Amino acid sequence: MKLVIVESPSKAKTIEKYLGADYKVRASVGHVRDLPKSNKKAIDIDAGFVPSYEISKGKEKIVKELTELSKKANEVLLATDPDREGEAIAWHIKEACNIKNPKRVAFHEITKDAVLEAMTHPRKIDDDLKKAQEARRVLDRLVGYDLSGLIWKKVRYGLSAGRVQSPALRIIMEREREIRAFSPEDFWTITANVENKNKEKFTLVCSKESRDEKEVDKILSSGEKNEWFVKDIKESEVKRSTRPPFTTSTLQQTASTRLGFAPSKTMGVAQKLYEAGLITYMRTDSTTLSRQAQKQILTLISKKFGKEYASENFFKTKSKNAQEAHEAIRPTNSTKEIAGATEEQKKLYKLIWQRTVASQMQNAKLLRTKITANIKNDIIPDFNTTGSRIIFLGWLAADPGAKGEDVILPEVKKDDMLKLLLIEKEHKQTQPPFRYTEAGLIKELEKRGIGRPSTYASTIKTIVDRGYVEKENRTLFPTDTGDVVSTFLENNFANYISDTFTAEMEQELDDISNGKREYAKTLKDFYGPFQKEIKSKESIEKLTTLGDVDEKIKCPKCKSKMVIKLSKTGKFMSCSTFPDCAGARTMEGKELEGPKETGEKCPKCEKPLVQKEGRFGKFISCSNYPKCKFIKEDEEEKKKKMTGVECPDCKKGEIMERRGRFGLFYSCSDYPDCKFAMKAKPTGKKCPDCEALMMEGTKTIPERCSKKECPNHRPDKKKSS
């Protein structure tokens, strides 16, 4: 028996079907080991930055099963994902399960031919790729742990900073400061609605945007009094060049703008398509296509659109180190119809199919027309209009979503007379630069060399989850907390969150993966100066206030002056004499009520219970918080939230509905003594495979197991395979 270990349970079943009876295919369900939470135990810096790993919580059973199976197997093949992280996971499986001399295979697509072909080219685990991923993990831990620790001391407990998330936040804040500093200026635009001799109407726009209203009125007056004519016509044939097939970055950007998908959602849906064998691996910097795929696409284009549309195109990969995979993201079979997928999967697959097929087509050709008009005596600025029409669709035939709307102009000739229907001015103001959307931030991070394609989605998700950025539609707005954290880092660690440093560090990690740099020396060269910088900032004063409030605004309780402070929910005005006076206001000036004693004692520590106001309304808790975290819940409200399902961990409490920073979840009523929790409402049934509680599903995912490690946790993956 030969054992093949992959990451995903659904992928395991598909691959086992392709390989036949001589093979057993099992899943590690992602990572099996990680660094411990305590940094003291995690990395031995003196020994050369040697990480100390431990089995990830909940993975003990999986590791035990894989260990037993590997001992019985004649041969073990590690087939984790074909990128740095996958290489590291393969090595971790080898170490955790004590597998001697395993072979490494990489599946860039989950199709029978690709899987069988990959099995004929086994290799050893690439130690350089593993070291590069390990260096990234260790580096991120060292930076995050040390920076976060300092921010806890100097700004506020519970805040964090990271090697890639901090530069991303800085970029958002730099744009926000530009917007705040922007001073709008008034200007006027002038439009003239005209018609030609055939009564065909079109609109002309004055070529000069004036900031002088008197000048604008003169143009209006002259335009109304005089005859109009066509001063000039220019027609030029232009081409719209074919676009390369998707990389991870361009897929995330296009899915955001066209489908409204968050980057993390795009990657989740793409993962399912990959595991179902419908697309190639979705983490890649490369824009190349295999010769076999290219020939198949060209044949398809000739049949579907015509031979004149086909064009064998090759694209140069922009990334210096396109290390994540060998090919661009493409359908594994461009002639195959997608079936049995969710609506989201169908939409993303269609986007990938269109872009891939379009990449092997001719350029589109457009005829661009510019009409210039003026009045007879020509004493005012020219008025123009531009339009275009497609004369050859080219690649737009396969990707109509990229076409846009063409403005078709009526036929006119030079010196033709025009009839003025209406000329009017419009008062406008100059606009500040736009805030970043998710797609825009990804494009900016890629342009500056910050992070890697596989990290963009998680970076954006992190700064949103941390409460540093809020997402409205797809636009990213920095919060007060994000502003304070970014400002603190920019003032004290500008070098370490700069574009140059972050991009150079990415290059050094690439060099480790290519065998050009040593792991320990790279980390030592970074960590020595970084640790000195951290220690040098230990003496700076704690950032207790963010500035003074206008002297006109006084404390609502004692009339003292007020200062700006930061809470978990953002900035607020606090009395400058706090804690002697607890007077507070919102940033809009509304008085904030402080905690009020209820007259009751805490049943845990005997301190007074107080009524507070939080994000979700009023509640009663211990005044000794955070040393005592007792919260008294309203009995009537508590009854409404009970599900009637016994807690599977402590067997005492009952599962009840709760709300946290990430929304609704369900946990034991005996919290914090029992910390059992699950994402969705329990059904009361037990999983037939692992005996864990089953929970309600969604429209696309039926009732499922609450245990992440169980295959029944994601039953939709069974369908996709």
Catalytic positions, please? 281
CA separation, residue 147 to residues 401, 451, 542, 659 (Å): 44, 18, 14, 30
A 10 A CB-CB count for 703 gives 14
Residues 6+ apart with CB under 8 A from 171: 436, 441, 444, 445, 448
Question: Among the residues of 418-468, which ranges form H helices?
Answer: 438-448, 453-465
Distance CA 404, CA 202 (A): 19
Strand, coil or helix: 413: coil
Tokens in use for 373?
Answer: 């008009």
Residue identified by tokens 């951290």 is 534
- The DSSP code for 599 is E
Tokens in use for 634?
Answer: 């309203």
Q: Which residues of 581-609 are buried (b: 16+ CB within 10 A; e: fewer)?
A: bbbbbeeeeeeeeebeeeeeebeeeeeeb
A 10 A CB-CB count for 255 gives 26
Distance CA 420, CA 224 (A): 8
Residues 706, 692 contacting (CB under 8 angstroms):
yes
Q: Which residues of 72-91 are buried (b: 16+ CB within 10 A; e: fewer)?
A: ebeebbbbbbbbbbbbbbbb
Distance CA 77, CA 368 (A): 58
Q: How far is CA 676 from the centre of its chain?
A: 29
A 10 A CB-CB count for 318 gives 14
* Bridge partners, 418 (sequence order): 228
Strand, coil or helix: 45: coil
Residues 6+ apart with CB under 8 A from 51: 35, 42, 43, 44, 134, 137, 138
Residues 207, 381 contacting (CB under 8 angstroms):
yes
Tokens in use for 422?
Answer: 């209406």
Tokens in use for 504?
Answer: 């150079």
Distance CA 145, CA 123 (A): 36
Tokens in use for 522?
Answer: 């790279």
What is the number of helices (H) and of strands (E) in the chain? 19, 32
Residues 187, 209 contacting (CB under 8 angstroms):
yes
